Amino acid sequence: MSTSKKKSILIKGGHVIDPSSSLDGVMDLLVQDGRIEDISPQNGQNTPPDYEEINATGLWVLPGLADIHTHLREPGFEYKETIATGTKAAVRGGFTAVCCMPNTQPVNDEPAITRYILKKADADGACRVYPVGAITKGQKGETLAEMAALAEAGCVAFSDDGNPVMDSLIMRRALEYSRIFGLPIVSHAEDTRLSEEGVMNEGITATRLGLRGIPNAAEDVMVARDIALCELTKGRLHVAHVSTRGSIRLIREAKSRGLPVTAETCPHYFTITEEAVAGFNTAAKVNPPLRSKQDVAAVCEGLTDGTIDVIATDHAPHHREEKAMGFDNAPPGISGLETALSLSLRLVSKGVIDLNRLVELMSVNPCGIMSIPTRKIAKGVDANLVIIDPELEWEVAPDLFVSLGKNTPFESLRLKGRVVKTIVYGDVIECL
Amino acid sequence: MTKDLLGIKELDKDDIIRILDTASGFKGVLERDIKKVPTLRGKTMVNLFFEPSTRTRMSFELAGKRLSMDVTNVSISASSVTKGETLLDTIRTMEAYGADIVVIRHSSSGIPHLLADNVTASLINAGDGFNEHPTQALLDIFTIRQHKGRLEGLDVAIVGDIAHSRVARSNIYAMGKLGINVRLIGPPTLIPAGMDSLPKVKVFHRMEEGISGADVVMQLRVQRERQKGGFFPNIHEYAKLYILNGRRLSMAKDDAIVMHPGPINRGVEISSAVADGERSVILDQVNNGVAVRMAVVYLLSGEKTSRMMEERRQRTEDRRQKTDHKLMPAQERRQGTKDRRQKNEY
């Protein structure tokens, strides 16, 4: 990306927070040629002659967020989302980089697809896109995809997301083989024999609705298996969308033994429970399913104590008509890019995490796990920033999403704190 | 009552009693030589069944005809209609034909709720997935009241595949609202999660324990496909544990009645001797089904009280607003078509 002719920007008087640079205070940021040129206490800038000033008084200035779990749907499902609309939604939500999952049509299991995605992203993308390649050919769980070719084409991790790798031997091989590249295997932990035909969390809510349940154990047994395989192979394991207290217990224990395990959760798993499904609300159908209060509490605890490394969105846009097919037939997924940060800020206001930890969870750790360029706020680093108004109250209105996916269980929810501007490699994008 | 009968969950105790009392009146009609009243002449009932059914469909058909309605039956294989838009289109078509009452059965839970939100015709849920089968529960309760003369404080044992039974669920909710004690009996594999947390519900895995001292024993039909699902080893072992035979029935109260929603598997969940015995009220259930369904249809479409009319108007209004919002693209499409037509682009 050429950054030579970008306008200089002075972000004035914002509260700058970045634990990776030990920044936490009111400061001015000078951005020149797409890079952070100067960070200094207020009124101490050597400003260039021609610059745009952003008054950030009362606002927070954070490193640009990175989402390591996004479904951009392109190629193949452009009626759900495109690289253009998905990345726009990302930027509006404060993200300056997204890692897109390979369950497209065709599946991103060969370098030609990876290159296609990157080319599209370069042309239409509002932010950086880092593709995740498939673990197995066609995500069928049978034979390994050509990981070397995928890595060379630009894949930053491997996942069969949407499907688990049910065959333990294939998973073992994937974890072993991926060590060549040092890239993580992202596990969609679900024993499909246990979750078979289930459409929501198993429990009294499912019983009352007459819907087939998915027990916590469907996730727990796979997390346990993958941790055992991680221990055996020393391959890097990243557990996607953790939703159960059991998984969190297992991951906590694995980390305490120093295994190379990382984990992510999503805003819906720490914000709402299975009760959101009441009334057959397909907007609350998601996989893994929304769980119980105890699980939500455990997820929060995992975010606090470091068991969970990342808040990812699992942004899964679907067409309105697909979500109107009745609960059994509606596809699972939540359009999450435009609500993730505000929902996570609730954790800050509730005291579950502090702002520094939020930055770790949504920017520092995601970049680290996927080995993508850091978003940190430091001199000479590309200017990827998010400016947040912590006091701004707003109501979630899916019709106003820029994502094509309007599927959110948070419709009409009032939230406090919102992205005002996102700066992507020095370009300022208005987000309100 | 509101526009639709989607489930017992949506009713309160007074609604249930009102339906039962109305049904008593219609039962009188069914005992006459001429079993027909002109009450709903000119009204139309459509039986929209996405799942095979003989009994329930016939019961609704008769209920409509006894009320002098025009009745049409539509059977559609669920597999041919999997997309929601198609379902919505189907129900709107029924409405365009002038259906006042649409009786719907579908293998997926919640489909009647989805459709009810999008039409002004009254919907009656005739069974959705494992969720509810409200008219079956109502006729069961009606039959219990007929034989026991009371409801509150009775002990009812429901035996079998509770997990996959909408009949059991609707009965559990109705009985809970009416102060009836429910004992669910079945293997742990067929008792859904959280059932024992419901008020007035106790769970048993041994038939003898659960049945002892019961006023009513309701056996559920066991589907042979559950054996394939591994819920029990085979049908013989199931029968050994849960069949209602004379010996087991003797553990219930002396005047206990035996019920079954049908069709029965003789020798599997119920012995022939018990099914045909003097304590069996299975055929009364069938007979009462028509009266109860007449009552539901009558209350939803026939009763011309201002309250009902007002309620319906208001709900329709609310729904319209909701629907407008939900279905914007379709409306835009229609508007687009109109515009193009006006411009003679066709």
Asked whether residue B185 falls in the same domain as residue B240, the answer is yes
Average pLDDT over residues A389-400: 98
Q: Which helix (H) or strand (E) holds A18?
A: strand A8-18
Kindly provide the ipTM of the predicted complex, given to two decimals: 0.90
Strand B101-106 to B122-128 pairing? parallel
Chain A residues touching B195 at Cβ < 8 A: 204, 207
Kindly indicate the confidence band of residue A384, based on its pLDDT and cuts at 50, 70 and 90.
very high
The pLDDT score that the predictor gives to residue B327 is 43
pLDDT > 90? residue B173: yes
Average pLDDT over residues B326-335: 46
For residue B253, the distance in angstroms to the closest alpha carbon of chain A comes to: 30
Chain A residues touching B83 at Cβ < 8 A: 321, 325, 329
pLDDT > 80? residue B83: no
For B111, the closest chain A residue by CA position comes to: A326
Domain A8-61+380-430 = CATH 2.30.40.10: yes
Q: How far apart are CA A125 and CA A425, in angstroms?
A: 13
Average pLDDT over residues A337-342: 98
The pLDDT score that the predictor gives to residue B317 is 67
Quote the domain boundaries for residue B241: 148-281
What is the percentage of chain A residues whose pLDDT exceeds 90? 95
- Of the candidates A70, A72, A91, A69, the one whose C-alpha atom is nearest the C-alpha of residue A81 is A72
Q: How wide is the angle at C-alpha B278 spanned by C-alphas B238 and B27, nearest 5°?
A: 105
Kindly indicate the confidence band of residue B224, based on its pLDDT and cuts at 50, 70 and 90.
confident
Backbone angles phi, psi at B242, to 5 degrees: -125, 5
The pLDDT score that the predictor gives to residue A48 is 75
Asked whether residue B301 falls in the same domain as residue B269, the answer is no
* Domain boundaries along the sequence of chain A: 8-61+380-430, 64-369
- Of the candidates A122, A159, A66, A163, the one whose C-alpha atom is nearest the C-alpha of residue A363 is A66
Instruction: Classify A416 as helix, strand or coil.
Output: strand
A325 and chain B in contact, CB less than 8 A: yes
Backbone angles phi, psi at A181, to 5 degrees: -100, -10
Q: How far apart are CA B48 and CA B126, in angstroms?
A: 9
Average pLDDT over residues B190-197: 94
- Of the candidates A359, A341, A315, the one whose C-alpha atom is nearest the C-alpha of residue A416 is A341
Kindly indicate the confidence band of residue A348, based on its pLDDT and cuts at 50, 70 and 90.
very high
Asked whether residue B270 falls in the same domain as residue B305, the answer is no
Q: What is the mean pLDDT of chain B?
A: 88
Q: Report the number of distinct structural domains present in chain B.
A: 2
Average pLDDT over residues A399-417: 98
What is the percentage of chain A residues whose pLDDT exceeds 70? 98
pLDDT > 80? residue B91: yes
Question: What is the biggest distance separating any 2 CA atoms in chain A, rounded to whole angstroms?
Answer: 68
For B131, the closest chain A residue by CA position comes to: A210
Kindly indicate the confidence band of residue B319, based on its pLDDT and cuts at 50, 70 and 90.
low
Asked whether residue B331 falls in the same domain as residue B265, the answer is no
pLDDT > 70? residue B303: no
Residue B207: give its domain's CATH number. Answer: 3.40.50.1370
pLDDT > 90? residue A404: yes
Q: How far apart are CA A368 and CA B213, in angstroms?
A: 66
Chain A residues touching B114 at Cβ < 8 A: 280, 324, 326
Average pLDDT over residues B273-281: 97
Chain B residues touching A327 at Cβ < 8 A: 108-110
B 151-210 residues inside an 8 A Cβ radius of A: 166, 169, 192-195, 197-198
For residue B84, the distance in angstroms to the closest alpha carbon of chain A comes to: 3
Q: Give the pLDDT confidence of A103-124 residue by residue, as tens digits.
A: 999 999 999 999 999 999 999 9
Token couple for A285: 């159908």
pLDDT > 90? residue A2: no
B20 and chain A in contact, CB less than 8 A: no
Q: Is the dihedral of CA B226, B228, B229, B235 positive or negative?
A: positive
Kindly indicate the confidence band of residue B337, based on its pLDDT and cuts at 50, 70 and 90.
very low
Q: What is the mean pLDDT of chain A?
A: 96
Q: Give the pLDDT confidence of A235-280 residue by residue, as tens digits.
A: 999 999 999 999 999 999 999 999 999 999 999 999 999 999 999 9
The pLDDT score that the predictor gives to residue B257 is 98
pLDDT > 50? residue B346: no
Kindly indicate the confidence band of residue A43, based on its pLDDT and cuts at 50, 70 and 90.
low
Q: Is there a contact between B61 and B73 (Cβ–Cβ < 8 Å)?
A: yes
pLDDT > 50? residue B333: no
Residue whose entry in the numeric block shows the structure tokens 């295997």? A185
Token couple for A234: 């020393």
For residue A308, the distance in angstroms to the closest alpha carbon of chain B comes to: 29
Asked whether residue B155 falls in the same domain as residue B254, the answer is yes
Asked whether residue B210 falls in the same domain as residue B112, the answer is no
Q: Which CATH superfamily is domain A64-369 in?
A: Metal-dependent hydrolases (3.20.20.140)
The reply to whether B8 falls in a domain is no
Asked whether residue B329 falls in the same domain as residue B297, the answer is yes
What is the percentage of chain B residues whose pLDDT exceeds 70? 84
Count of CB atoms situated within 10 Å of the CB of A124:
16
CA distances (Å), origin A374, targets A307, A339, A382: 22, 23, 9
Average pLDDT over residues A12-40: 95
Q: Give the pLDDT confidence of B63-72 residue by residue, as tens digits.
A: 999 999 999 9
Asked whether residue B42 falls in the same domain as residue B62, the answer is yes
Asked whether residue B198 falls in the same domain as residue B271, the answer is yes
User: Where are the extended beta strands (E) located within chain B?
Assistant: 44-49, 70-75, 101-106, 122-128, 155-159, 181-185, 201-204, 216-219, 257-259
pLDDT > 70? residue A386: yes
Instruction: Classify B309 as helix, strand or coil.
Output: helix
Task: Please provide the size of chain A in residues.
Answer: 432
Count of CB atoms situated within 10 Å of the CB of A52:
11
User: Where are the extended beta strands (E) located within A160-256?
Assistant: 185-187, 200-201, 213-214, 237-239
The reply to whether B4 falls in a domain is no
The pLDDT score that the predictor gives to residue B86 is 77
The pLDDT score that the predictor gives to residue B223 is 84
Asked whether residue B270 falls in the same domain as residue B315, the answer is no
pTM: 0.91
The pLDDT score that the predictor gives to residue B87 is 85
The shortest CB-CB distance from B194 to any of A207, A321, A322 is to A207
The shortest CB-CB distance from A326 to any of B114, B130, B192 is to B114
Strand A95-100 to A128-131 pairing? parallel
Q: Give the pLDDT confidence of B20-49 residue by residue, as tens digits.
A: 999 999 999 999 999 999 999 999 999 999
The reply to whether B249 falls in a domain is yes
Task: Output B229 or B164, whichever has higher pLDDT.
Answer: B164
Asked whether residue B250 falls in the same domain as residue B315, the answer is no
Task: Output B118 or B137, whichever has higher pLDDT.
Answer: B137
The pLDDT score that the predictor gives to residue A3 is 43
Q: How far apart are CA A390 and CA A348, in angstroms?
A: 10
**CB-based contacts of A424, cutoff 8 Å, min separation 6:** A64, A91, A96, A126, A127, A128, A384
- Tell if the CB–CB gap between B82 and A329 is shorter than 8 Å: yes
Q: Give the pLDDT confidence of A310-336 residue by residue, as tens digits.
A: 999 999 999 999 999 899 999 999 999
Token couple for B46: 């459509």
Asked whether residue B276 falls in the same domain as residue B161, the answer is yes
Task: Please enumerate, as own/partner, the contacts of B243-247 that have beta carbons within 8 Å and a separation of 24 or more.
Answer: B243/B267, B243/B268, B243/B269, B243/B270, B243/B271, B244/B159, B244/B207, B244/B211, B244/B217, B244/B219, B244/B269, B244/B270, B244/B271, B244/B274, B245/B271, B245/B273, B245/B274, B246/B271, B246/B273, B246/B274, B246/B277
Q: Which helix (H) or strand (E) holds B57?
A: helix B55-66
B109 and chain A in contact, CB less than 8 A: yes
pLDDT > 90? residue B19: yes
